[in-house]
Structure 1
Amino acid sequence: MLYSLLIGLQVVVALAIIVLVLVQHGKGADAGAAFGSGASGTVFGSQGSGSFLSRATAVLAFVFFVNSLGLTYLSAHPSTGVSIINQPGAQQILDGKGTAPAPAGATTKAPAPASSTSDVPPAKSDVPPTKSDVPKP
């Protein structure tokens, strides 16, 4: 729950920083004000928007970094106490074996040794018989 809340806050703060940076004007834009670009009629007053937007960007950057540290801490130390590795079936994935472990108290039976003589006749082939395979009358 807290992790989802911090992720949402991170996205909102990141978008706000992007908007604030795009709204700010660069240092070269002040030269254009002398030629009538309307700098005195700004929304933020005759001083311009530099100090307000700069402070807002700095505050949001601080919130972004603190939030990033919080998300990192929560990722490294899950509050539920249950790790993904402790989940059922995770050990089989980590071992690389696709078999489930035997239940507690169960005995495993060793496979029977293969016999050298086979009672199974050889399988028929889809290949047609050759002249040497045909019995003589």
Structure 2
Amino acid sequence: MQQVIIAIHLMVVTALVILVLYQKSEGGALGMGGGSGVFTGRGQANALTRATGILATIFFITSIALTVLPAWERRSEGGDDWTKALDPGSIQIKQLPKTEGKGEQAAPEKAPEPGKDSIF
């Protein structure tokens, strides 16, 4: 299911970028429209604005779906307690070395031996 939503999401993103770049800016910097073409003037602006709004709405819906769908899948695997879906064997705890002294400062590192190249 996620692959289908991702495919739709990528198509919408591509179309949205193309539509935004195709729109005529106020300064005309990125606008590609000329005087002749299928759309001219006000009709082009209305059609592109409406299409951009529709694609933006679809983009937000697919983004939310891609966020919520994995949570639903975890919930369905674990029942009422979603933590049951986690594999406790894959969790690893890393122990940090203890520092000397009262504060949280780490012990200073030793100076490099003479003759060894170091940038510090």
Q: TM-score, normalised by structure 1?
A: 0.52
Q: Do the aligned partners of residues 23 and 79 (structure 1) sit closer, same or farther apart at CA in structure 2, a change above 3 Å counting?
A: same
Aligned to 2:9: 10
2:20 maps to 1:21: yes
2:3 maps to 1:43: no
Counterpart AA for 2:26: K
Aligned match of 2:52 in 50, 53, 57? 57
Q: List gaps (5 residues or longer) in structure 2.
A: 94-120
2:82 maps to 1:82: no
Percent of aligned pairs with the same residue? Answer: 29
Aligned to 2:90: 93
Q: Give the secondary-structure state (helix, strand or coil) at the position aligned to 2:38.
A: coil
Counterpart AA for 1:62: T
Q: Give the secondary-structure state (helix, strand or coil) at the position aligned to 1:77.
A: helix
Q: TM-score, normalised by structure 2?
A: 0.58
2:65 maps to 1:66: no
Q: Do the aligned partners of residues 28 and 82 (structure 1) sit closer, same or farther apart at CA in structure 2, a change above 3 Å counting?
A: same
Q: List gaps (5 residues or longer) in structure 1.
A: 30-36, 97-137
User: C-alpha displacement at 1:48, in angstroms?
Assistant: 5.1
How far apart, in 2, do the equivalents of 1:73 and 1:93 lie?
23
User: C-alpha displacement at 1:50, in angstroms?
Assistant: 0.9
Provide runs of 4+ in structure 1 moved above 3 Å: 45-48, 83-87
With a CA cutoff of 8 Å and minimum separation of 6, indicate the structure with the bigger relative contact order: 1
Counterpart AA for 1:5: V
Between the two proteins, the alignment pairs up a number of residues equal to 86
Choose between structure 1 and 2: higher helix proportion: 2
